[in-house]
A and B are shown apart, each in its own frame.
Chain A
Amino acid sequence: MSLAARALTLDYGARRVLHGMDITLRAGEIVALVGPNGSGKSTFLRALARLLRPSGGVVELDGRALAAWSPVRFARRVALLSQAHEPVEQLSVRGLVALGRHPHQGFLSLPSAADRTAIETALEQTALLPLAERRITELSGGEQQRAWFALALAQEPAVLLLDEPTAHLDLAHQFTVLELVVRLNQLRGLSVVMALHDLGQAARYAERIVILKEGTMLAEGSAAEVLTPASVRAAFGVEVEILRASTGVLVVAPLGRSGD
């Protein structure tokens, strides 16, 4: 598996949102995208997920441009968890997660044993089994987000794209999701690109961090290389102190907005 953006540019109408992105995601790697609001994180993820057509450059999966992939074959390899979802009436959690199997099912086929296993596993991994028969609309925002996460897991992709997967979650469930991402990465070699707001989480869970600002890559590398007071000031306009906790994890302590 390899997913690569080469000189990727993307326009919304006349406005250029991404300027020449060059990133290669290696098999079994976890990459975090960080950057301020409107820096192009979601747009970049959606371009990687084949939802947006590049204005220039190319995105390739296994050496083939995304446009050349059949939608179903691509969906078996790459899944995307978005930030927001339309409300789905009258559908149970299990019913929603089961739809993650769509790309694996033939035109007429009924759910196979493999489908059922994938659905139950996804429900179990996201701690949703007790809620499986509940209707989506009855759940809290965080539970709904976990249900959509379970749908992406049931899709059994090789690449998982996550757009702020922890946004609506309490602290405990943020850990659940991120630990699960790491576990699937170790167990199955799942490759991950995730947009995160929390720089500490990015430092802890990603092998590589990409800092975006206004649609360009400001910096790319390991947490130790990339997360510096200077780079955070350049990207976010915020003064920080970078500390190293006793466990070796980087802690980003904000001090205040940078003076102009």
Chain B
Amino acid sequence: MSDAPSPQPSPARGEGAHSADRSSFSPLPLTRRLDRRPLVLLGALVLLGATMVAGIALGSVRVPLADVWAALLGEHEGARRFIVWNLRLPRVLLAALVGMNLAVAGTVLQAVTRNPLADPHLLGLSAGGALLAVLALHLDPATAVGNLPPLAFLGSLLGAALVYLLAWRGGVSPTRLLLAGVAVAALFGAFTTGLLLVSTLTIQAIMSWLAGGLYARSWPYVRILAPYWGVGMLAALLLARRLDVLALGDEPASVLGVRVQRLRAVLTGLAALLTGSAVAVAGLIGFVGLVVPHVARMLVGSGHRYALPVAALLGGALLVLSDLIARTVASPRELPVGIVTAAIGAPFFIYLLRRRT
């Protein structure tokens, strides 16, 4: 649409007049618009599949598609099979699971707080994970290095619990939850930075972990994340309609028979589980949890029965693609994947915002 004033004044048809230029609106009362949401869902699935195949095939060594297929089916022997099975597949799979976790956590938190700026990192979830990991490294480096994932997971859950506790006043309101999250994230971030500065450790390892990355991640990490991913995705999908109702506001949700405070606590816990497990295996990866939910809702509307799975698939695809770029663009060096998600996500997000208005 151009900004130029239209040559003819639009007919004064009252309330419906401004809809005439929206092609998706059908003026005939009895024609239902074709539901294209299943198509979008299918498209997102295909996109995730395509990025995963690309992620397996591309890298410092190129594996032809036929060989990828053969290796996956277990028919191929030798170096390529090793590359596909032991290096690329687990890493691509892990990227997909992490991306799904973050996107679904973001979608859930945006509904819970009714705030479009909510994302897993704003709520102090990942800041708690980072602080506990850095603290452990500072106090007992030998033990901590091997146990970063459980420490980060524990820290995320503690961060979420603290945020919830601070926001509590006979119940938790969305705004207080968000403000407490911002405060805790800032506080934990300050402690983390301070610790890094006074620490005598070489901070290379922890810095790259903080920036987020999937370097040298193999099957053990996939096995750590998979159960949380499975439980989290299932729970989120089962609660989809409750998310829709909660998004209407506390009072309308209560009138519709929802126990608002209990549901909000369950959903925050679910987001903490999804984020904490993702932070544990991949560090701090920004933007997926903030941007992808918006893209999903723009594509399929805010009904969570579609928005959640579409966000999950797009989040997985974004992270697989970002990881592919992170390890190939400056090869043989690797960029932290968090930098790539922000570099792709931020301009795309700005484009979407501009296009809408």
- Chain A contact residues, CB within 8 Å of chain B: 46, 49-51, 70-76, 79-80, 82, 85-86, 88-92, 95-96, 99-100, 102-103, 105, 107-108, 129-131, 133-135, 138-140, 142-143, 148, 151, 155
Main SS of chain B's interface residues? Answer: loop
Residue of B nearest to A124 (CB): B29
Q: Is B33 an interface residue (CB 8 A)?
A: yes
Could you tell me the distance in whole angstroms from the C-beta of B258 to the nearest C-beta in chain A?
7
Known: A75-B255, A80-B255, A130-B29. A140 touches B15 (CB 8 A): yes
Could you tell me the distance in whole angstroms from the C-beta of A253 to the nearest C-beta in chain B?
31
Residue of B nearest to A89 (CB): B302
Residue of A nearest to B259 (CB): A71
How would residues 14 to 53 of chain B score, 1 for a CB under 8 Å from any chain A CB and 0 otherwise?
Answer: 0110110000111101101100000000000000000000
Which of A46, A129, A135 is the most central at the interface, judged by chain B CB atoms within 10 Å of its CB? A135
Known: A90-B297, A135-B301. 11 other contacts (CB 8 A): A51-B255, A89-B116, A91-B303, A95-B303, A96-B248, A99-B241, A99-B248, A102-B245, A129-B29, A134-B25, A140-B15
Could you tell me the distance in whole angstroms from the C-beta of A63 to the nearest C-beta in chain B?
20
Q: Which of A70, A134, A151 contacts B19 (CB 8 A)?
A: A134
A143 and B15 contact, CB distance less than 8 A: yes
Which B residues lie within 8 Å of A89 (CB)? 116, 297, 302
Q: Is B252 an interface residue (CB 8 A)?
A: yes
A82 and B245 contact, CB distance less than 8 A: no
Q: Which of A74, A91, A148 contacts B302 (CB 8 A)?
A: A91
Known: A86-B249, A89-B297. A79 touches B238 (CB 8 A): no
Contacts across chains A and B counted by CB atoms under 8 Å: 87
- Chain B contact residues, CB within 8 Å of chain A: 15-16, 18-19, 24-27, 29-30, 32-33, 114, 116, 238, 241, 244-245, 247-249, 251-252, 254-259, 297-298, 301-303
How far apart sit A99 and B254, CA to CA, in the bound complex (Å)?
12
Which A residues lie within 8 Å of B255 (CB)? 49, 51, 75, 79-80
Which of A82, A86, A108, A148 is the most central at the interface, judged by chain B CB atoms within 10 Å of its CB? A86
Residue of B nearest to A79 (CB): B255
Residue of A nearest to B33 (CB): A133
Could you tell me the distance in whole angstroms from the C-beta of B19 to the nearest C-beta in chain A?
7
How far apart sit A15 and B15, CA to CA, in the bound complex (Å)?
42
Residue of A nearest to B302 (CB): A90
B297 and A76 contact, CB distance less than 8 A: no
Which B residues lie within 8 Å of A155 (CB)? 256
How far apart sit A72 and B149, CA to CA, in the bound complex (Å)?
41
A85 and B32 contact, CB distance less than 8 A: no
Could you tell me the distance in whole angstroms from the C-beta of A202 to the nearest C-beta in chain B?
23
Which B residues lie within 8 Å of A129 (CB)? 29-30
A99 and B238 contact, CB distance less than 8 A: no
How far apart sit A72 and B256, CA to CA, in the bound complex (Å)?
7
How far apart sit A79 and B252, CA to CA, in the bound complex (Å)?
9
How far apart sit A113 and B144, CA to CA, in the bound complex (Å)?
57
A-B pairs with the 9 shortest C-beta distances?
A: A75-B257, A72-B257, A90-B302, A103-B257, A130-B29, A86-B249, A71-B257, A102-B256, A140-B15
A85 and B252 contact, CB distance less than 8 A: yes
Could you tell me the distance in whole angstroms from the C-beta of B108 to the nearest C-beta in chain A?
16
Q: Which of B30, B252, B301 contacts A82 (CB 8 A)?
A: B252
